[in-house]
Amino acid sequence: MPRTEAPHYNALIRRGIDDRELYRRALTRVREPGLQALLAENLRTLELLIGDLQVQVHAMGRTPAQHGTLAGAIRSALAELTAGMSANRDAAWVHCLARNECSLLQQFEDQMAHASAESARVLGIQLSRLHSIHRDMHCLAGTTHG
């Protein structure tokens, strides 16, 4: 796999870490036990995705990203503020997670469109994981998904 793809992978890792932190925050704030279980499962999926991408970057001889972004930290803080003021906190978290997950999914799809064949294969595996989270969150949010 080309070393030149490491920065792209690291961007995906950072965005994945942002979403993982948002899931962690939501998990401690939602009340419904079934929702907590689903969020915990999605959190584990994100952790696997991040770990797999970090292994790929390391295999390229590069240092994998270990932290999210400032924008992600701000989104997470705003989500907590918004959900905290909502009459239905669980629903507010679900909608927020669904929106953020859509953005991560789009970033993966965009990267796959420009990746080498080997990178596209690796990203395709991760993309299937993201599609699973996508279906879960949009089903809960009652929104359409593609």
* Each residue's pLDDT tens digit, 113-126: 888 888 888 888 88
Average pLDDT over residues 4-18: 92
Tell me the chain's radius of gyration from C-alpha atoms: 15
Is the predicted pLDDT of residue 33 greater than 60, yes or no? yes
Q: What is the CATH number of domain 3-141?
A: 1.20.1260.10
Q: What are phi and psi of 144, to 5 degrees?
A: -80, 155
User: Among 10, 17, 18, 12, which residue's Cα sits nearest to residue 72?
Assistant: 18
Predicted TM-score (pTM) of this structure? 0.88
Residue with the bigger pLDDT between 97 and 134: it is 97
Tokens of 18: 């942002």
Instruction: Give the pLDDT of residue 133.
Output: 87
Instruction: Give the pLDDT of residue 62.
Output: 95
Instruction: Give the pLDDT of residue 143.
Output: 60
